[in-house]
């Protein structure tokens, strides 16, 4: 295949912006130049890469070529920095798409990434346990902070540390619903806050303590900081990470000091020798070392 | 159609829990009882309602019957409360599925709903402008806090008030990137934080002030509280709602006092005479009245 850097960049920008017009603005060329490059790339690969919907959609072949485009872009930016010049123009900042689980994004990941924010553009995706491996495989993200330890084919996996979740509530909520502590009877009736349908942290603990049939009223609050806000406002009890029991949530009480669930997080990334990706990896590992519990 | 309340409740619980086993636990019956009720409901309606995948998936007909099931459940709970008894058992709390836009969920909606948390289970869905009308139409949600004013067929729409967004950054970020203020040249280079691909608040203001071709490095942070945290950590500037410039974000500076974008929010809900839904509506309208800007 005889591939052209400008064509690969047109594909990347089109997927990022969603339309040929947005890609044209980002690359400062005309939409018809983008269109020509995409067509040339499809001729060179012999495959349809994009469905021209709004926003555009990648075909299976398109995903493979996008993954290539992003690797080439990152490696080019690395070399440019090493050589002290920048063939792609002074403003070319490589963009790193990373999947991050919601609770990490709400706590330790952003402070860890902040020092690199001037040299890398972070394109964060909300990690969804079931889809993260698909995102890594498809080339939508280059790396992930995930509870999934098994490396996706073509990726490495490094343990980061653990987040400890404990059942918490406001003191007033605990007095009203758990006057005698979290007994099975009290747990069967006390409202509980749950992140979403896939979040089984609350119900795992609930069923271990109150039996399989416990089905108290539940509130679903599908955003990490808002989930903790709901517990802090007294909507229910919930499994709150120790890392998030700060600020307004610092006055939450732990319902059962003996109860905790540890979720071990991992850094998965493409096998790719890139100085930029290595720096991001180091920053994430350092942040995890400061904030997460060491893995036994 | 000869429909049975227990059958409708089995459908609701199965969709909520995702599996027949989860529905059985919630309703305290055996999985085979759930299975029989679902089959009876399909016979009575003459339609396939559910694809038995994990999690189950509703068919088009299933959506219509689910909508009916949830209305009946809500109305039954209303009457039970009015009569002072509760035929569905003392623990039956009606569940209200509501779509809420991310910035409202992160600010004023949870405090507005908190006083009702003992009598209603809130099943909040992240509003996505393009999907909210589909969620309302499909019966997945009964109401929505949305920027979309046009009422979905079968729904009413009430204006709630405005959220004001202004371009903000940390004082250190402003000194480094905007020493002479947000000039077109500075805006073309300063990193910007964006919520996701559909968030055009930053780029609308950017293009009005720095021209159509301005394409500064962007960080994408797709959670409302985390978006503000990213601006507060100095990753970039961003359009922050005045309501969120509190706490850690209180020290953010406004880049251009003359610049603001007002997003008017609306309450859409099914046309349904229900005392519970009416109480939730009143609580949302009162919360909006306290926190949002009056609509001109």
Partner-chain contact B91 A216, CB within 8 Å: yes
- In chain B, what residues touch A232 (CB-CB under 8 Å)? none
pLDDT at residue B85, as a whole number = 58
Nearest-CA distance from B88 to chain A in Å? 14
What are the boundaries of each domain within chain B? Answer: 1-90, 163-261
pLDDT at residue B160, as a whole number = 97
Among the partner-chain residues B126, B197, B221, the one whose CB lies closest to the CB of A124 is B221
- In chain A, what residues touch B113 (CB-CB under 8 Å)? 235
Band (pLDDT 50/70/90 cuts) for residue A88 is very low
- Give the C-alpha separation, B63 to B52, whole Å: 15
> What is the pairing mode between strands B57-58 and B238-241?
unpaired
Across residues B214-241, what is the average pLDDT?
A: 93
For chain A, give the percent of residues with pLDDT over 70: 95
A5/B contact by beta carbon, under 8 A: no
Those residues whose C-beta lies under 8 Å from the C-beta of residue A108, and which sit 6 or more positions away, are: A243, A287, A288, A290, A291, A292
Is pLDDT above 70 for A92? no
- Complex-level ipTM: 0.83
> What is the pairing mode between strands A121-126 and B192-194?
unpaired
Chain A, nearest residue to B215 by Cα? A26
Is the pLDDT higher at A19 or at A133?
A19
Q: How far out from the chain centre does Cα B289 lie?
A: 18
Among the partner-chain residues B91, B191, B197, the one whose CB lies closest to the CB of A18 is B197
Phi and psi at B36, nearest 5°, equal: -65, -40
Note the pLDDT tens digit of each residue in B264-278: 999 999 888 888 899
- In CATH terms, are A1-88 and A163-263 the same topology? no
Across residues B7-23, what is the average pLDDT?
A: 89
Residue in A129, A222, A280 to test binding to B, most B beta-carbons within 10 Å: A222
Radius of gyration of chain A (CA): 23
Among the partner-chain residues B117, B124, B218, the one whose CB lies closest to the CB of A236 is B117
> What is the pairing mode between strands B121-126 and B95-100?
parallel
- In chain A, what residues touch B124 (CB-CB under 8 Å)? 219-222
Chain B, nearest residue to A213 by Cα? B25
Chain B, nearest residue to A114 by Cα? B235
pLDDT at residue A139, as a whole number = 74
- Give the C-alpha separation, A256 to A254, whole Å: 6
Partner-chain contact A110 B221, CB within 8 Å: yes
Nearest-CA distance from A46 to chain B in Å? 29
A172/B contact by beta carbon, under 8 A: no
Note the pLDDT tens digit of each residue in A38-63: 999 999 888 899 998 888 888 888 88
Fold of B1-90: Arc Repressor Mutant, subunit A (1.10.10)
For the residues of B105-166, what is the DSSP string, one character each?
HTTTHHHHHGGGTTT-EEEEEE--HHHHHHHHHHTS-SEEEES--SPPTTEEEEEEEEEEEE
A131/B contact by beta carbon, under 8 A: no
Band (pLDDT 50/70/90 cuts) for residue B16 is confident
Lowest mean pLDDT among A135-144, B46-55, B70-79, B186-195: B70-79
Cα B53 to Cα A201, B59, B146, B229: the distances in Å are 23, 12, 31, 39
Is the pLDDT higher at B26 or at A225?
A225
Among the partner-chain residues A91, A124, A189, the one whose CB lies closest to the CB of B222 is A124
pLDDT at residue B3, as a whole number = 75
Domain covering B163-261: architecture: 3-Layer(aba) Sandwich (3.40)
Give contacts of B 71-100 with A, CB under 8 A. 91, 93, 95
Nearest-CA distance from B277 to chain A in Å? 16
Note the pLDDT tens digit of each residue in B73-131: 888 777 777 776 554 444 567 888 899 999 999 999 999 999 999 888 899 998 876 67
Across residues B283-292, what is the average pLDDT?
A: 97
Those residues whose C-beta lies under 8 Å from the C-beta of residue B139, and which sit 6 or more positions away, are: B63, B64, B66, B67, B68, B70
Partner-chain contact B122 A233, CB within 8 Å: no
Give contacts of A 195-254 with B, CB under 8 A. 197, 212-213, 215-226, 229-230, 233-236, 247-248
pLDDT at residue B88, as a whole number = 46
Radius of gyration of chain B (CA): 23
In this structure, whether the domain defined by A163-263 belongs to CATH 3.40.50.2000 is answered with: no
**A1-88 has which CATH code?**
1.10.10.10
């Amino acid at each position: 295949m005889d591939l052209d850097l400008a064509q690969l960049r047109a594909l990347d920008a089109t997927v990022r912006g969603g339309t040929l017009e947005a890609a044209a603005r980002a690359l400062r060329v005309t939409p018809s130049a983008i269109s020509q490059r995409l067509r040339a790339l499809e001729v060179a690969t012999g495959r349809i890469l994009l469905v021209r919907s709004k926003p555009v959609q990648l075909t299976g072949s398109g995903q493979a070529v996008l993954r290539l485009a992003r690797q080439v872009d990152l490696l080019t930016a690395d070399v440019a920095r090493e050589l002290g010049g920048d063939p792609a123009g002074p403003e070319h900042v490589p963009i790193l798409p990373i999947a991050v689980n919601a609770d990490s994004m709400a706590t330790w990941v952003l402070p860890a990434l902040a020092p690199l924010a001037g040299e890398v553009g972070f394109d964060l995706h909300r990690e969804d346990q079931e889809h993260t491996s698909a995102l890594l495989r498809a080339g939508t993200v280059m790396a992930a902070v995930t509870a999934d330890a098994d490396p996706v084919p073509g990726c490495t996996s490094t343990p980061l540390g653990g987040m400890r979740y404990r059942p918490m509530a406001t003191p007033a909520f605990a007095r009203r619903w758990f006057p005698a502590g979290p007994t099975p009877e009290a747990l069967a009736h006390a409202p509980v806050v749950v992140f979403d349908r896939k979040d089984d942290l609350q119900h795992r603990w609930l069923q271990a303590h109150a039996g399989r049939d416990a089905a108290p009223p539940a509130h679903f609050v599908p955003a990490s900081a808002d989930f903790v806000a709901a517990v802090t406002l007294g909507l229910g009890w919930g499994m709150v990470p120790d890392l998030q029991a700060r600020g307004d949530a610092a006055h939450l009480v732990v319902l059962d000091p003996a109860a905790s669930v540890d979720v071990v997080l991992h850094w998965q990334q493409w096998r790719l020798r890139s100085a930029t990706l290595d720096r991001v990896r180091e920053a994430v590992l350092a942040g995890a070392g400061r904030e997460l519990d060491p893995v036994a």
